[in-house]
């Protein structure tokens, strides 16, 4: 089982790097969908005893993260006549480098952090941190609003993974709450992007500073 968890975690990291280096929005959405699915099935791999409940939740989460959210993002992308390129503030090479630095930092954080319970795999906590940092980096370093939503999703994936490392079993109510939160967030952001697009003919968030007094 441990091998399976570890390989999923490695794939998650690779997906993060792919996100950092890809230049097309549609690719980014696909990648984040893949990552979401992998995060969703992670409880199945981590748990030794598969119960019906855990399976159901894992499937729902994987479905949300892997299908529903990407679908909504694709629809937003289609409706807004945005440029499909990313136009990043930070170049792709530099982004990759930042990703590596964040991974190293995550391992350092893991070594300093004394968790009350042992994680299921030694990789879980660093990977979770690295995903959170990558998500934040995407929010800060990319220009379009869609990409910021993607960054947000990656950060959520990281938080979810971290939660999994700590509690192992998935508390139903908490998870549904988180899922609901995310659903609402993506929903609201989708609407917001749509509105911004309609008002300003673009969804470049850097142009919002023309609003300041």
Give the C-alpha separation, 35 to 174, whole Å: 21
In the bound complex, what is the minimum distance in angstroms from residue 12's beta carbon to other proteins?
21
Contact 162, 129 (CB under 8 A): yes
The single residue listed with the structure tokens 């917001």 is 192
79 binds other proteins (CB under 8 A): no
98 binds other proteins (CB under 8 A): no
Tell me, residue by residue from 9 to 48, as one string, x for binding to other proteins by CB under 8 A and - for no binding: ----------------------------------------
Q: Which of 172, 186, 193 is nearest to 65 (CA)?
A: 186
Task: Output DSSP code: residue 201.
Answer: S
Interface pick for other proteins out of 72, 139, 159, 166 (rule CB under 8 A): 139
89 binds other proteins (CB under 8 A): yes
Give me the helices (H) in 113-171, please.
124-141, 145-167
Q: What is the CA radius of gyration of the chain?
A: 17
Interface pick for other proteins out of 72, 109, 176, 192 (rule CB under 8 A): 109
Q: Which stretch binds other proteins (CB under 8 A): 57-65, 107-115, 169-177, 183-191?
A: 107-115
206 binds other proteins (CB under 8 A): yes
**Measured from the CB atom, is 43 or 151 closer to other proteins?**
151
Here the tokens at position 1 are 């089982």
In the bound complex, what is the minimum distance in angstroms from residue 67's beta carbon to other proteins?
28
Interface pick for other proteins out of 112, 117, 173, 199 (rule CB under 8 A): 112
**Measured from the CB atom, is 5 or 157 closer to other proteins?**
157
Q: Which of 186, 189, 191, 178 is nearest to 39 (CA)?
A: 178
Sequence-ordered list of residues with C-beta below 8 angstroms from that of 43, at least 6 positions apart, any chain: 54, 57, 58, 164, 170
Residues making contact with other proteins (CB under 8 A): 89, 109, 112-113, 136, 139-143, 148, 205-206, 208-212
């Amino acid at each position: 089982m441990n091998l399976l968890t570890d390989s999923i975690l490695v794939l998650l990291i690779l997906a993060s790097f792919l996100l950092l280096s890809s230049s097309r929005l549609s690719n980014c959405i696909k990648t984040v969908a893949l990552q979401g699915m992998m995060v969703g099935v992670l409880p199945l791999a981590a748990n030794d005893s598969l119960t019906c409940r855990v399976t159901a939740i894992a499937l729902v989460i994987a479905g949300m993260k892997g299908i529903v959210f990407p679908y909504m993002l694709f629809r937003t992308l289609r409706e807004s006549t945005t440029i499909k390129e990313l136009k990043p503030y930070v170049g792709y090479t530099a982004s990759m480098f930042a990703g590596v630095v964040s991974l190293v930092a995550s391992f350092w954080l893991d070594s300093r952090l004394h968790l009350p319970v042992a994680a299921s795999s030694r990789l879980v906590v660093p990977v979770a941190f690295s995903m959170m940092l990558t998500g934040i980096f995407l929010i800060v370093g990319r220009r379009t609003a869609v990409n910021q939503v993607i960054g947000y999703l990656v950060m959520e994936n990281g938080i979810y993974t971290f939660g999994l490392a700590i509690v192992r079993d998935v508390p139903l109510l908490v998870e549904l709450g988180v899922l609901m939160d995310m659903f609402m967030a993506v929903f609201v952001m989708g609407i917001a992007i749509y509105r911004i697009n309609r008002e300003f003919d673009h969804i470049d968030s850097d142009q919002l500073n023309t609003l300041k007094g």
